[in-house]
Amino acid sequence: MSACRALRGNALLRAAAVARPIASLESRRTFTATPRAMSSFYKGWEPEGPSVKTQIPGPKAQAAIADLDTVFDTRSLNMLTDYSKSVGNYIADPDGNVLLDVYAQIASIPLGYNNPTLRAAARSNEMINGIINRPALGNFPPAEWAEVLKSGILKVAPKGLNQVFTAMAGSDANETAYKAAFMWRRQRERGGASVEFTEEEMNSAMNNQSPGASQNLSILSFKTGFHGRLFGSLSTTRSKPIHKLDIPAFDWPQATFPQLKYPLDQHVEENAAIERAALEEVEKLITTYHIPPCAVVVEPIQSEGGDNHATPAFFRGLREITRKHGVLLIVDEVQTGVGATGRFWAHDHWDLPHPPDMVTFSKKAQTAGYYFGNPELRPNKPYRQFNTWMGDPARALLFRAIIDEIEKLDLVKHTARVGDYLFGKLEALAEKYPGQFNNLRGKGQGTFIAFDNPRRDEFLVKAKTLGVNIGGSGQSAVRLRPMLIFEEKHADLLVDVLEKIVKSW
């Protein structure tokens, strides 16, 4: 594809970019090197506010994108970034534009760009050792690996889960969790961990046939859910056709995720009925689907699929049904995990009487994997759940530094507080501009907030021209995914820009 076509391909994001920022941003436009604003967390760190100097992409970015497109597909490019100049909540581009970033690399930056504590962690000998002597963790784990896990990933293990399988990315975390579920279920059916595989199982496995390959078991997921794009995880992803077209998929069941009506307090009965119906559908699929599920996978808040929420009662019901039928519950916390909902794990909001069987994580953790507690979820033989790297010690060390900083700065509580503040401001906006901030959701869920706008794509483009980088999800949601160092002053700035967008129409 030519560079010209690539640039046209990104036209939507760029078309509305204006050469001049609006007047009210003029006063904020000169800060690129100084002045630095006081951050409540790190002194003299962040810019005072956004600075939009050119259209986005500006001339330098356009030239660089054209060059990049000769060797790398740029059609999904959102913003060419200068990471060396991005600081805290602010993302910079090669033309000197600096935007408040409430998208944060698809919800995956926890502590801000160029965080000083993480930069220091990156310079440690331990980290250098992890990067340049990267181990094949299953075969040659470092002597200190247990300590790294216990003082990092496992320090924040969800209640009731005390073990981890480390992985590379969110899809990989889910994919390996599914494999653990299949092996667990087949092991039970076989009669336990010590029962040997039969000749027939081993031969049929080599031909991709049952009984060796588990073609008679499935994973149940929810409509509009997203769990990744590897083969197995993609079969459970139900967000958009473009994610799935042309890829072989398993014939696995999907249940309706509750489509709650807003505002919640005005639809209590109706929403309870919607959730009951969804749970009945899950139970029916578990008991009647022609390929029975051995696990149900669910996001606490369906993120890519449009920021769809359900109540704690729904998830408690799901836990009850899965336990009743001996089906595992996998909670996919890839996007919701690590503090953004005002609890470290979003499922902490549910008050579950029994923990999930597995919890998958990635994104803000920077590393990935799944937590579990039941020792039977370790396959009966080595090398059944295995790959070369099985994660990455450098990324595990980074997560440990992130956890320490979250604890030191009390960032989960902070996010809960700032989220409440932001939600209150958005409620006021929704009232003032009917039809523009529809189905406002995420109350009491930290900064994990979204709303629908009828002109969502234009909305996001316009936000950039006014100095804010925001993402969308599903068909019409504007999703807010600030970092954990997002403060009230950033919320004020964001709300100011959101109002300007809808006022300009």
Ligand X SMILES: Cc1ncc(COP(=O)(O)O)c(C=O)c1O
Nearest approach in angstroms of CB 478 to ligand X is 17
> Is 342 within 8 Å of 348 (Cβ atoms)?
no
Q: Does 93 sit near ligand X (CB under 6 A)?
A: no
Candidate list 32, 388, 432, 492, residue with the active-site label: 388
Site string for ligand X, 436-475 (x = CB under 6 A): ----------------------------------------
Among 101, 299, 307, 487, binds ligand X (CB under 6 A): 299
Q: Does 226 sit near ligand X (CB under 6 A)?
A: yes
Q: Check if 363 is active-site.
A: yes
* Phi, psi of 121, rounded to the nearest 5 degrees: -60, -35
Nearest approach in angstroms of CB 264 to ligand X is 22
Q: Which residues contact 289 (CB under 8 A, 6 or more apart)?
A: 218, 220, 253
Cβ nearer to ligand X, comparing 135 with 306 = 306
Candidate list 332, 357, 392, 452, residue with the active-site label: 332
- What is the rounded CA–CA span in Å between residue 130 and residue 115? 20
CB atoms within 10 A of CB 422: 24
Q: Please name the helix (run of DSSP H) or strand (run of DSSP E) that holds residue 65, with its range, or none.
A: helix 59-69
Nearest approach in angstroms of CB 59 to ligand X is 32
Among 21, 50, 158, 170, binds ligand X (CB under 6 A): 170
Q: Which residues contact 445 (CB under 8 A, 6 or more apart)?
A: 301, 309, 341, 342, 346, 349, 419
Residue 376, token pair as written in the block: 């039977």
Q: What is the DSSP letter of 430?
A: H
Q: Does 228 sit near ligand X (CB under 6 A)?
A: yes
Among 99, 157, 169, 470, binds ligand X (CB under 6 A): 169
CA atoms within 13 A of residue 316's CA, in its CB half-sphere: 10
Helical packing angle, 456-465 and 488-503, nearest 10°: 120
Candidate list 41, 226, 315, 344, residue with the active-site label: 226
Nearest approach in angstroms of CB 360 to ligand X is 7
- What is the rounded CA–CA span in Å between residue 444 and residue 346? 11
Nearest approach in angstroms of CB 165 to ligand X is 15
Nearest approach in angstroms of CB 153 to ligand X is 16
* Segment 308 to 337, residues that bind ligand X, using CB under 6 A: 332, 334-335
At 213, the amino acid letter reads: A
Report cis status (omega within 30 of 0) of the bond before 21. Answer: no
Give the distance from CA 368 to its chain's centroid.
Answer: 11
Q: Which residue is nearest to ligand X (CB)?
A: 170
Q: How far is CA 160 from CA 35, 163, 299, in A?
A: 47, 10, 19
Nearest approach in angstroms of CB 450 to ligand X is 13
Residue 100, token pair as written in the block: 């408040």
Q: Which stretch binds ligand X (CB under 6 A): 165-173, 388-396, 433-441, 496-504?
A: 165-173
Q: Does 300 sit near ligand X (CB under 6 A)?
A: no
- What is the rounded CA–CA span in Å between residue 339 and residue 177? 22
CB atoms within 10 A of CB 433: 16
Give the distance from CA 272 to its chain's centroid.
Answer: 27
Site string for ligand X, 356-395 (x = CB under 6 A): ------x---------------------------------
- What is the rounded CA–CA span in Å between residue 222 and residue 282? 9
Cβ nearer to ligand X, comparing 115 with 236 = 236
CA atoms within 13 A of residue 350's CA, in its CB half-sphere: 26
Q: Please name the helix (run of DSSP H) or strand (run of DSSP E) that holds residue 134, with its range, or none.
A: none
Q: Does 95 sit near ligand X (CB under 6 A)?
A: no
Q: Check if 307 is active-site.
A: no
Number of chain positions touching ligand X (CB under 6 A)? 15
Q: Check if 246 is active-site.
A: no
Among 62, 97, 115, 171, binds ligand X (CB under 6 A): 171
Cβ nearer to ligand X, comparing 39 with 235 = 235
Q: Check if 500 is active-site.
A: no
Nearest approach in angstroms of CB 232 to ligand X is 12
Q: Which stretch binds ligand X (CB under 6 A): 53-61, 226-234, 390-398, 424-432?
A: 226-234
Candidate list 363, 364, 462, 500, residue with the active-site label: 363
381 by Cβ neighbours in 10 Å (0-12 / 13-18 / 19+) ranks as exposed
* Segment 413 to 432, residues that bind ligand X, using CB under 6 A: none
Please list the active-site residues: 226, 332, 363, 388
Residues lying near ligand X in the complex (CB under 6 A) are found at 106, 169-171, 174, 226-228, 299, 303-304, 332, 334-335, 362
